[in-house]
Amino acid sequence: MVGQTGRGDRAGGFTLLMLCTTASVLLLGVALLVAVSDDLADATLFSRAGIMAVTIGGVVVVCAAGVIAQRRTGPPARTVTVILSMVAAALVACVGFLFLFSATPQLSAGLLLVVAAVLIALCGREAAHASRAGEAR
């Protein structure tokens, strides 16, 4: 298999940076909205602390997935990162859908969380694929 050029590596790193940054900004924005607004915090089954835990945990997981994808670490760390990314994406999507379909729908927070969940899953996928590219070299 032909190795990638330096330009391809930079583009992959930039794409990974944009995925992680966008997901982190979306999640931190929702965390800030929940911290400020009582209506938003009471819109779902989760309490304010539960929503904050899911959003901040999602930020930690997406940042860890980005670092592991960029560093191309060993298989155990990759496996744990991919599993945690998928679990975090599922939790963030669940909270997002609860915002969308609650008694008082909060469309903005719900859409932000659903988009962030997709980006978290993409970061986990990139962590899995970047490691395979590193093994092929």
Give the rounded percent of residues in the chain with a pLDDT score beyond 90. Answer: 45
Q: What is the pTM of this model?
A: 0.83
Instruction: List helix spans (H) across the chain.
Output: 6-36, 38-41, 48-71, 75-100, 107-136
Which tens digits make up the pLDDT trace of 36-71? 988 887 777 888 889 999 999 999 999 998 888 888
Q: Which residues contact 106 (CB under 8 A, 6 or more apart)?
A: 39, 40, 43, 99, 100
**pLDDT surpasses 70 at 133:** no
Give residue limits of the domains in the chain.
Answer: 6-136
